[in-house]
A and B are shown apart, each in its own frame.
Chain A
């Protein structure tokens, strides 16, 4: 049953694809792009899901898909126009279908009321049309009866009755006269097969009439000249016999005559047949095997036994994620080793033109390509993520009464699947914000000359080795007066703070900031943009905001393509080498004597953008040196923590800025507060990667930071 489980998994994967196609198509239709190809694709998606669901007996899914499909079929045949109201129902049905698929996959309960409501709605669309010609069908039992009937196994040509010999008392004798025309053979049908099927129905004797066979010189080898007459004693009725011929009915003459029940003696062959010159020959319909199967076909088969198998299935393989990760790890090692080797070669003083150096250059190139290739295995397009967002926009427009269209761009852009997974929540939040706070109510929009329907744009693109995702709206833009007033009221900034527009916009990211004057149940879920920012930072990303009054706002996120490497600043501290994640660093500076202020016994702060940031000596904190070094002559890194406080880290020197391969410290040693992971540098030495948040927290100065900021 293992194969079935695998196929089931394939089915659900395929469902994901189909749901994606469905959504894409419906959105296109909704935008008035309802050409027949799009409608067909939409229909096929639902149809395929229904087909597969039937195979796995997922009845609820089948039922819903069936109703959905019926409505789509009407659109396909242009009996139903895709009006905005109809499209709304279809889009919501797509959402329910997605829910049902998910529920079936993990075998969890579904929102029965919702799917029933939509079934009713869909039937409202189809019923109006269907009921006109055929009002007899009662509405309530329609889905089940249709479904069961549809899904019976009905090979029309072939009876699947396996026990033809069980004759019961009510045997009827039929005389079946069957004259095939040429077309019958051309369609792959065989008289012998039909006769055999006939024989399965009961006791059959078949005679063939060769009367019409011309002389050899006039004979067309592909012609049809024979008439077959079968005397059949069967418990089946005439309809069952007719059914056998259903597929050939257009290509033959068929006559089925039932003898009266009591007419026991088998009728003699028809006189006109008897009087023929050619002798009627008795032909017993063969039961299982036949000699008449085209020998040519068998020969062709034999002639190509070793023909390469045409594997047409989509060119994908499924691989355990662990294996991929192991490979990624190994490639990480390879990158490190290659870097070490490069460094040794440089140290050995070999000339650049030497064979070794040249070979090493090629190796370096190759290593980088392998690394990219391996990373790409984990990469997935953002399309499914974006599609989820379009559903959210739909639900929001229903809830807010606003009219908003989601436009997406760059859905094919690929990024590490973990990044995608962890991007879902922050992105959802931002989309909610855009619809709820960004886009204005239709009346407001129209009053300022904008179209009543707002637009939220979601785009993804690769930019210099990172992925940039933008959420923008064409709403009112950030009300800076209000934002500043709120920040002052909530004591996030001093009342007399002089802030640039950009700084005001960034106040949105402060913890505890929320502009919603009333808590709507949409974006007011207890999280603000600070949480979004934290999630993005946790992924090694950065987020920025830009806004133009009356024209809208844009949130722009830049994320690494993978979580296996990190952009870091390599710094020296008391002869130790450390890596500070680049995303945490706001700026670096060489402090001048006047910048440093001492507070209390040994707390020092540095002037920072009109406020003060506490100085933390990294060397002292990590125990590399007993007392803190003099920041003058060293370098100060202004970093920002997840709670948006700024701290100044004192290091001795900046060594390099580069990508490092992340090695888990937990897996290789143990967890250390303040340290995120480790990496191996080109010289083979281990360097620790700082985790800014926990590092600042462990100094216990994190809380002071905001106090200082407030006091300034």
Chain B
């Protein structure tokens, strides 16, 4: 029985990389291509951890996180922000939106899985 992880990223490259890393680690991965799509996916899925990009069309990562946090079902679900940006301003914006943690791209698969494992525990 593997845990489900939702990844939200508009880049197929990133989605693929995340999927490979997380699937190999034994997780079940569901994907969304932007924040809006992420919210749609959450209508049917109850992931244990959410990993999201920030810069996305339609609904960006901040907006996505804010919306997820409004939903009672996902109050306690860890949300990791995965992005190339690491400015203090963006971090605090992510924090205000309700993110649990921050991972800077490019990520190392082993470390990524390690982080996911820890927040998912």
Contact = CB atoms under 8 A, between A and B. Distances in A.
Interface string A42-74: 011001101110110100000000000000000
B55 A47 contact: yes
A293 B49 CA distance: 12
Contacts of B96: 250
Contacts of B14: 51-52, 55
Interface string A1-14: 00110110011011
A106 B15 CA distance: 23
Interface string A577-604: 0000000000000000000000000000
B22 interface: no
Given A10-B13, A54-B106, A301-B46, A158 B76 contact: no
A151 B111 CA distance: 14
A154 to B, nearest CB: 5
Given A301-B1, A312-B37, A153 B76 contact: no
Interface in A1-46: 3-4, 6-7, 10-11, 13-14, 40-41, 43-44
Contacts of A13: 12
B91 A246 contact: yes
Interface in B1-36: 1, 3-4, 10-17, 20, 28, 30-33
A312 B33 contact: yes
Interface stretch (A107-115, A183-191, A205-213, A682-690): A183-191
Nearest to B47: A301
A51 B11 contact: yes
B13 A294 contact: no
B100 A314 contact: no
Interface in A591-631: none
Given A186-B75, A193-B119, A14 B12 contact: yes
Interface stretch (A303-311, A357-365, A431-439, A563-571): A303-311
Contacts of A214: none
A604 to B, nearest CB: 65
Counting chain B CB atoms within 10 Å of each CB, which of A149, A157, A304, A307 scores highest? Answer: A157
Contacts of A311: 31
A48 B10 contact: yes
A153 B41 CA distance: 28
A151 B84 CA distance: 7
Contacts of B33: 312-314
Contacts of A304: 46
Interface string A170-198: 00000000000000011111100100110
A173 B121 CA distance: 28
A294 B12 contact: no
B11 A158 contact: no
Contact of A157 (B55, B100, B105, B108): B100
A128 interface: no
Contacts of B86: 149-150, 154
A307 B4 CA distance: 11
A185 B1 contact: no
Given A293-B121, A313-B12, A155 B103 contact: yes
